[in-house]
Each structure stands twice: as structure tokens, then as C-alpha cells.
Structure 1
């Protein structure tokens, strides 16, 4: 079962013109244990720290959010009344992970926030995993070079050399790529893999 993220104590930036509906939204967020700040100016997360951003997708514009074109650094929920495909596309392009229909119904707030926070956490985790895999892929030529060096130093075949490299990595509790780099740099002697 997936854990529900705890929202209590989080700060929410609401990018929307103040109105009666937004006042009700702020009250609902307070009941959920969140602190809300409403503004209708471009967001600056240093000046207005926020853990979650709710943005008026009906009237939002390029430049309203500082990460335009980049992954959003915080979970984002689009406040949307329009069914216009262009407005939905804008919300998606800016990083919205959930939609909260306007006028906001109090019962819809919590599920939208939970979905956005959970989806953002998954996206951050996936990006970190992808970065680690890309780094390992970039270091693959070092692994091949280290295997060739072990083959020549120990006079064995490629499979045995790779097994030796893998044992050396497991013994040191580091990745094969790190072990290969250290062997090629002379930090680990090739004899340790043999």
C-alpha cells in the first residue's frame, strides 16, 4: 500500500487574484494544517518559500512560474475552470500534477494536494535514478578498459576478468564503475582483482 504524504505544516503559494473562492480555499488549507500565501505576481521561491504551488491555469502566463520549461521543484496543482485545451496544455507544460476545478469544492482540495505531492516525489525519485543510470552508462568505457587491463595483467578471459572486477567492487562495497575508475587511476592495484 502506498503511504499518504503528510501535508501538515507545509507552505502553499497560491498564484491567483484574491477573491471569495480563494478565501474559502485558504480557509480549507488552514483546516488541513497548511499555511497559505496568496499573490498574483510572478513566483520567487526564495522570497516566498513554498512546499506546494497552486496556480490559476485559466489566466496564468509564461513567466508566472520561475521554472517554465524545466521540471517544477515543488508539487504544483492547477486551479482550472476552463475546459480550453490551451489552458490545460499550459498547466501541463508548467508542471501541474493535479487539477483542482474552480469553483473549488473543499472536499476536492485534499485529494488534489496528495496526488500532486505523491506524483512529485515519484518524479524526483525517477529523475535521481535516471541520473545514476546515466552516470553508470557514461562510465561503462572505464569498465571495459579495466576488464582489458585485468585480462592482460592476469592472463585470463573477459568473463573471468569481469568476475574479478565485480569481486573487487563487492569487497570494497562500491560500484563496478567506481572500482574500474580506481583501478585505472592506480588507487586499487590490478592484482587485487586477480
Structure 2
């Protein structure tokens, strides 16, 4: 499956983390022309005031000035190494330490300062689409990993079905596959649920007979 590249950014919202005295007019002007609104989070005691829980990956883009040091603290996904929204690094001093810091924040594109209007669209295109591509790849890898783990459940379920029915391996597998299709579930998930149900202890609530006598409450003979 090929990722549908995003080319129109109208309706987006850019959060630009920069010192107010160093706003890049070309950046804001170009973003506005592209239909992207521009907002400047306040910086208090060296930290940008951003509500990360309210960010939306399909709308928001973070522009972070690498010269501000640790102004932004993003919780990057440890597995995908991606931030919650696309991050574009604004680069003034091209020191390896500052570039590394932006990469660690999950930046998927960079924009050189002072910003030239002609470079904004390219940076935006690369940053957002690389973010979407890496997100999709991570989801696919996670899905494949889950199914790989589920294969163990399939093997166990096949062996159990062979014991219960006397079918050979192919017959037991085919039977389980038909059942999973009827349940509209992946075979791996169906087998996991099947094994889980078999592993549950029997329900004793319907057992007939009086409850066991407790010490001190023996019946009189």
C-alpha cells in the first residue's frame, strides 16, 4: 500500500516556538498563504507553554527553534521515536549538538534561518509526509509483530483441536480457519480467544447440593 502524500496544508495550525523578538516574518507570511494559521506559544522561564494533550496530529505542526535549547520537552514514542505531531526544526547555528537535540525531539524536516519564503513549502511537505510515512510504517510493524506473536496461539490451538477431534494438522487448521472467518476475526485473535476460554476455571456456582459445613455449624444428628 502506497502512502497518499499530503500536498495541501490548508486548515493546519503551526505552533512556532521562537523568541518573540526573533519572529520570522517570511515564515508566518508564507504559512498564511498556504492556509496554515500561525501561533506563538508563550515561553516562561525558558519553557514553551504548550498543551501537548490537546495537539492533533492531523492538524498541528510544531516549528521549534533549535537555538532555544530545552524550550520544548516532548514525550517521544519510545518505539517509533515519533512525537505526537510533526516537528520541523528551525536551524540557525548548525552545531551537531543542536541538530541532535532537534532529531531527538522527532524533527522530520529542517528550515534554515533566516527563513526564505521559497523554502517553507518544501520543508512543510517533507516534515509532514515523513511523519505520516513513519507513523504508517510503525503501525504496520506493530500489526505484523502482533500477528507473529499470535502464531504461537494458532499452533497451540491446532494441537488442541487435533487432540479433541482426531483430525490431522491440515484438517484442524482448516477447521479453525473456517471458524475464524465465520466469527469475522483474524485467525490469530480467534485462536487466542479460544485458548483463553478453555483456560478459564469451571464455574461452580451451579453445582447442586448443600454448601460444605463450617466448623461450629455442624448439623445435629
Structure-2-length-normalised TM-score: 0.74
1:52 aligns with 2:61: yes
Residues 108-187 of structure 1: matches in 2 within 5 Å? Answer: 108-184=119-195, 185=197
Kept in 2: contact 1:57–1:79 (CA 8 A): yes
Residues 1-194 of structure 1: matches in 2 within 5 Å? Answer: 2-19=4-21, 21-39=23-41, 40=43, 41-42=47-48, 43-46=50-53, 51-61=60-70, 64-67=72-75, 70=78, 71-184=82-195, 185=197
Partner of 1:192: none
Partner of 1:189: none
What is the CA-CA distance between 1:122 and the residue it aligns to? 1.4
CA RMSD of aligned residues (A): 2.4
Moved more, 148-157 or 40-49: 40-49
Q: What SS class does the counterpart of residue 52 from structure 2 fall into?
A: coil
Q: What SS class does the counterpart of residue 189 from structure 2 fall into?
A: helix
What is the CA-CA distance between 1:22 and the residue it aligns to? 1.6
Q: Structure 1 CA distance, aligned partners of 2:114 and 2:35?
A: 21
Q: Structure 2 CA distance, aligned partners of 1:74 and 1:10?
A: 12
Kept in 1: contact 2:55–2:84 (CA 8 A): no
Q: 1:69 to 1:126 in 2, by over 3 A?
A: closer
Considering only CA atoms, is the larger Rg found in Structure 1 or Structure 2?
A: 2
Q: How many residues align?
A: 185
Per-residue deviation, residues 72-125 of structure 1 (Å, max 9, x unmatched): 000010000222111111111110000001110101111111111111111222
Q: Structure 1 CA distance, aligned partners of 2:192 and 2:52?
A: 39
Q: Structure 2 CA distance, aligned partners of 1:182 and 1:24?
A: 57
Partner of 1:190: none
